[in-house]
Chains A and B, each alone.
Chain A
Amino acid sequence: MIQLRYAVGATAFALLLWQGVVWITGVPAFILPSPLRVAQAAIANRALIAENALVTATEVILGLMIGTVLGAITAVPLAGSARLHRVVMPLLIFTQAVPVFALAPILTLWLGYGVASKVVMAVLIIYFPVTSAFYDGLTRVPADILDMARTMGGTKGQIMRRIKIPHALPSLGTGLRLAAVYAPIGAVIGEWVGASKGLGYLMLLANGRAKTDLMFASLLALVVMTLLLHLAITKAADSLGRR
Chain B
Amino acid sequence: MTPAPTIRLRGTYHIEGQQLFGPIDVTLPAGQWTCVLGRSGVGKSTLVRLCAGLPCTGEFDGQITASDGADLAERVSFMAQSDLLLPWLSVLENTVLGARLRGQAPDIQKAQGLLDRVGLSAHLHKKPSALSGGMRQRTALARTLMEDRPVALLDEPFGALDASLRADMQELAAEVLADKTVLLVTHDPAEAVRLGHQIIVLTPDAAEKWPTPPEMPIRDQYAVATISCQAGLLARLRQSP
- A116 located at the interface, meaning its Cβ lies under 8 Å from any Cβ of chain B in the complex: no
Q: Which of B89-120 contact A (CB under 8 A)?
A: 97-98, 100-103
The complex places the Cα of A158 from the Cα of B97 at a distance, in Å, of 10
- Does A149 sit within 8 A of B, measured CB to CB? yes
Contact A144 B82 (CB under 8 A): yes
How far apart sit A151 and B53, CA to CA, in the bound complex (Å)?
A: 8
Q: Are B78 and A155 interface neighbours, CB within 8 A?
A: no
Do residues B98 and A163 form an inter-chain contact, with CB atoms below 8 A?
no
The residue on B at minimum CB distance from A152 is: B98
Query: Which residues does chain B contribute within 8 Å of A149, judged by CB atoms?
Result: 97, 101
Q: Tell me the complex Cα distance, A157–B103, Å.
A: 9
B residues less than 8 Å from A154 (CB atoms):
98, 101-102
Main secondary structure of the interface of A (DSSP, over half): helix
CB distance from B181 to the nearest CB of A (A): 15
Bound form: Cα–Cα A155–B104 in Å:
11
A243 interface hit (Cβ, 8 Å): yes
State the interface size on chain A (CB cutoff 8 A): 20
A167→B86 CA distance, assembly (Å): 8
Q: Which of B47-97 contact A (CB under 8 A)?
A: 49, 52-54, 74, 76-78, 80, 82, 84, 86, 88, 97
Cα A159 to Cα B101 with chains together (Å): 6
Pick the residue among A152, A157, A167 that contacts B97 (CB under 8 A): A152
Roughly how many angstroms separate A151 CA and B84 CA in the complex, as a whole number? 13
B102 and A148 contacting across the interface, CB-CB below 8 Å? no
Candidates A142, A152, A166, A243; contact of B101 at CB < 8 Å:
A152
Which residues of B lie under 8 Å from residue A151 when comparing CB positions?
Answer: 52-54, 76-78, 153
Distance (whole angstroms) from the CB of B93 to the closest CB of chain A:
9
One digit per residue, 1 when the CB lies within 8 angstroms of any chain B CB and 0 when it does not, for chain A 165-177 equals: 0110000000000
B191 within 8 A of A: no
How far does the alpha carbon of A159 sit from the alpha carbon of B97 in the complex, in Å? Answer: 10
The answer for the CA separation of A152 and B49 in the assembled complex, in Å, is: 14
Residues in A neighbouring B97, C-beta threshold 8 A = 149, 152, 162
Q: Decide: A166 near B52, CB < 8 A? Known: A148-B80, A154-B101.
A: no
Output the nearest chain B residue to A154 by Cβ-Cβ distance. Answer: B101
Decide: B102 and A155 in contact? CB cutoff 8 A.
yes
> How far apart are A124's CB and chain B's nearest CB, in angstroms?
32
Q: Let me know if B88 and A158 touch, CB within 8 A.
A: no
Q: Are B102 and A150 within 8 A (Cβ)? A: no
A147 touches B101 (CB 8 A): no
Q: Are A145 and B88 in contact (CB under 8 A)?
A: no
> 1/0 per residue A101-143: CB within 8 Å of B?
0000000000000000000000000000000000000000010
Interface assignment of A208: CB less than 8 Å from any CB of chain B: no
B77: which A residues are within 8 A, CB to CB? Answer: 151-152
Task: Check A144–B80 contact: CB distance below 8 A.
Answer: yes
- Chain A residues with CB under 8 Å of B86's CB are 145, 163, 166-167
Inter-chain pairs besides A147-B78, A148-B84, A155-B102, 9 sampled, C-beta below 8 Å? A142-B84, A144-B80, A144-B82, A147-B54, A151-B52, A151-B54, A151-B77, A162-B97, A162-B100
Interface set of B (CB-CB < 8 Å, partner A): 49, 52-54, 74, 76-78, 80, 82, 84, 86, 88, 97-98, 100-103, 147, 153
Q: List 20 A-B contacts (CB under 8 A).
A: A144-B84, A147-B49, A147-B54, A148-B80, A149-B97, A150-B54, A151-B52, A151-B54, A152-B101, A152-B102, A153-B102, A154-B98, A154-B102, A157-B103, A158-B102, A158-B103, A163-B86, A163-B101, A167-B86, A243-B88
| Closest 9 A/B residue pairs (Cβ) | A154-B101, A152-B98, A151-B78, A243-B88, A158-B101, A153-B74, A166-B88, A147-B54, A151-B52
